[in-house]
Structure 1
């Protein structure tokens, strides 16, 4: 089973990229972020033609998430329970016995911005809900754009980024809370295979981020022990960043040998 995540930064713009990528990389589940489409505009028919079911939670211009899956999704959740939020950031479903939660976590803007407080509160709500989900699902994947680089080596310049937004201690502590709840970051399991561009998942459009390989690892696949034990790979498909009119993120794919 292959489960992937991709912040596409506008599904309307990037739909041809997704279709082409799925044709050559037919993953079982793909979590999308920043679809930036209201639900009535979601390209259900195009994705059905590609062989995928779709559940989604969208809004105009900002945010928006979706799960694409070959098998029909079950027990769909469209928001963080008990957390009032106009931003569409969460979609979850069970696919072939695996619970998949796709998230587009808040950016926070700056550590002195009110959005930073919202980000930490949002992560707190996610952790509370996750505890309930983990009590019911042995096989669970939490994936998406977390807007947090967990370690100094997940940035192209640790001296520049340490303590800043995406790399502050409270943000990293919030992510660690999810790991402490019983999830594993699958990326480090296969770190020896990664170098150069393959160390990151996002490159800023500004200041020649891609050309300079000025990237960050902020897109993650976290999994329960039952899935960690059968994970056979986790990598970024960095070639997608080199396309014409690309997203600033690339897909991250985790492989599981479920027998």
Structure 2
């Protein structure tokens, strides 16, 4: 079973790229972020023609998350991150696919920091931590996949001082990510590639960062113990970032052994 996460950065603009990647790689489940489309604008027909059922939570111009499943419709279990009924940002969806609970999440960027956006980022991560514990307590197989907007460690970003004050690399968000690992979640990419350098998933459009491989690791798949035991392979489809009209992120995927 192949599960991927992909910050698509505007699903309608990148639809040709997405459809080409789906046809080439044939993932079983895809978690998408930054749809930048309302529910009505979601390209439901094109996704269905590609062979995928879809569950999504859209928002005009910003945010938006989705879960695609090959040949089936995801069974939705959550359409928002619990803990704040007043939060109307489309950043979290959760569904059951083939016996696994899978979440597609788009954590807040948090810039500029300090400030209200940074405070929201930290509060959102606290809510994720609480919900993640509830999910672990269920003892179900679970994958938390998405753009966490956190660079976990210094080795997960190219050598630079330009991000020194950026919310993505601050101690508090990094501690929030580490707290998830301490709960018992497995960082899939680092599980099988513990020492691999330049393991990036995002390259900004600015300052020629893609040709220079000046990247960051922002997109993560966190696995519960039952899923981590099945982990067979993991990778980044880096070549997708180099396509014409590409997102600034590349897909990240895991391959699971049969149960």
Instruction: Judge conservation of contact 1:99–1:137 (CA < 8 Å) in 2.
Output: no
Instruction: Judge conservation of contact 2:36–2:61 (CA < 8 Å) in 1.
Output: yes
User: Which residue pairs with 1:183 in the alignment?
Assistant: 185
Correspondence list, 1:1-259, <5 A: 1-70=1-70, 71-83=72-84, 84-157=86-159, 160-161=162-163, 164-191=166-193, 194-196=196-198, 199-259=199-259
Tell which deviates more after alignment, 64-73 or 99-108: 64-73
Query: Which secondary structure does the structure 2 equivalent of 1:203 belong to?
Result: coil
Instruction: Judge conservation of contact 1:152–1:162 (CA < 8 Å) in 2.
Output: no
Shift of the alpha carbon at 1:157?
Answer: 1.3
Ranges in structure 1 where 5+ consecutive residues have no aligned partner: none
Shift of the alpha carbon at 1:158?
Answer: 5.8
Instruction: Judge conservation of contact 1:5–1:31 (CA < 8 Å) in 2.
Output: yes
Tell which deviates more after alignment, 78-87 or 230-239: 78-87
Structure 1 residues 252 and 32, CA, compared in 2 at 3 Å: closer, same or farther?
same
Shift of the alpha carbon at 1:2?
Answer: 0.6
Give CA deviations for 1:189-222 in whole Å, capped at 9, x if unaligned: 22268455xx100001000110111100000010
**Distance across 2 between alignment mates of 1:247 and 1:72:** 25
For the aligned residue pairs, the C-alpha RMSD in angstroms reads 1.6
**Distance across 2 between alignment mates of 1:49 and 1:165:** 39
Structure 1 runs of 4+ with >6 Å offset: none
Give CA deviations for 1:150-194 in whole Å, capped at 9, x if unaligned: 011000016554564211110011111221222110111222684
Shift of the alpha carbon at 1:123?
Answer: 0.6
Query: Which secondary structure does the structure 2 equivalent of 1:80 belong to?
Result: coil
Ranges in structure 2 where 5+ consecutive residues have no aligned partner: none
Query: Which secondary structure does the structure 1 equivalent of 2:31 belong to?
Result: strand
Shift of the alpha carbon at 1:24?
Answer: 0.8
Instruction: Judge conservation of contact 2:201–2:251 (CA < 8 Å) in 1.
Output: yes
